[in-house]
Amino acid sequence: MLKFGILNITPDSFSDGGRFSQKESAFLRFEALLKRGFDFVDIGGASSRPGSLPVTPKEEWSRIGPVLELLSKQQKTHFVSVDTFHPEVIQKSLALGVGYINSIQGCLDPLIMQEISKSGAGFIAMHMHKTPKEMQIDPLDSNEAIQQVEAFFQHSKELILSYGFTEDRYFLDPGIGFGKTFAANESLLRKAKDWSKNYPLFYGISRKKFIREKLGLDFGDELDAVCRGMEYLLEISGVNAVRFH
């Protein structure tokens, strides 16, 4: 199972906003994650927490660009996954040789998808109900979430393969916490074993609100230990990759 570490270069991410806003601190975080055994580092310049507002491509690149350029000089961008859906940011990231593009909006415009495919980078398509600003106002219940994610997986797989990606160069993410109820998130976790038979799965559950509230935990070592235990269960269920702190 591949492990993607999280590097948020944002002022407002839910557990570490503002900690890595400077390229020097972000670089040290990147190095620390690789030393901990992560295969890739997922770098994002826009928060997608519930209620967050969109960020322009210019602002997003102003946050992550200096870090990617520094990593490029050290020939380390192939260890990077960029969390974005803006074509301008994707193109600049691909030019620096990043390993993955991670899109919370699922598959993107055909032209940019073809560009990602031709670059040799991998792609991660995530299911999200509505937008971060409004996704928890009327979230999907268990049955709705299972049906919508299943349809999303089927459609996304067909599209991604049609753009020239090979089976080992993409993942599908059910979007735990992105417009789903507590019960729906639990159902998506339980479906991992079944879905793993047909799809390359990518799950992100690290420090999620529904886990914190269920166990009455705040951010800290205890919460991270619980999430790591859950990620081990996902691994033995056949999940191909996880994203965590």
Neighbours of 115 (CB within 10 A): 18
pTM of the complete model: 0.95
The confidence band for 199, taking pLDDT boundaries of 50, 70 and 90, is very high
Amino acid (one-letter) located at 233: L
> Looking at 81-95, 104-118, 218-232, which range is the least confident one?
218-232
For helices 87-95 and 57-73, give the axis angle rounded to 10 degrees: 10
In whole angstroms, give the CA distance from residue 100 to residue 96: 12
- Mean pLDDT for 158-178 is 97
- Mean pLDDT for 115-119 is 98
Q: Which class would CATH give 2-244?
A: alpha beta
> Looking at 136-145, 214-223, 230-239, which range is the least confident one?
214-223
Query: Quick check: 74 pLDDT over 60?
Result: yes
In whole angstroms, give the CA distance from residue 238 to residue 245: 21
First-to-last CA distance in the chain? 16
H-helix segments, 52-141: 57-73, 87-95, 110-119
> Looking at 21-25, 61-65, 104-108, which range is the least confident one?
21-25
**Taking phi first (over 0 means left), then psi (-120 to 50 degrees means alpha), and beta for anything else, what does residue 106 get?**
left
CA dihedral (71, 175, 50, 111) positive or negative: positive
- pLDDT tens string 12-61: 655 555 677 788 999 999 999 999 999 999 999 998 888 888 899 999 99
- Mean pLDDT for 193-220 is 91
The confidence band for 146, taking pLDDT boundaries of 50, 70 and 90, is very high
Query: Quick check: 111 pLDDT over 90?
Result: yes
Q: What percentage of the chain has pLDDT greater than the value 90?
A: 81
Average pLDDT value for the chain: 94
pLDDT at 204: 95
Half-sphere exposure of 244 (CA within 13 A, CB side): 23
For helices 87-95 and 110-119, give the axis angle rounded to 10 degrees: 10
Largest CA distance in the chain: 48
pLDDT at 231: 92
Query: Quick check: 240 pLDDT over 70?
Result: yes
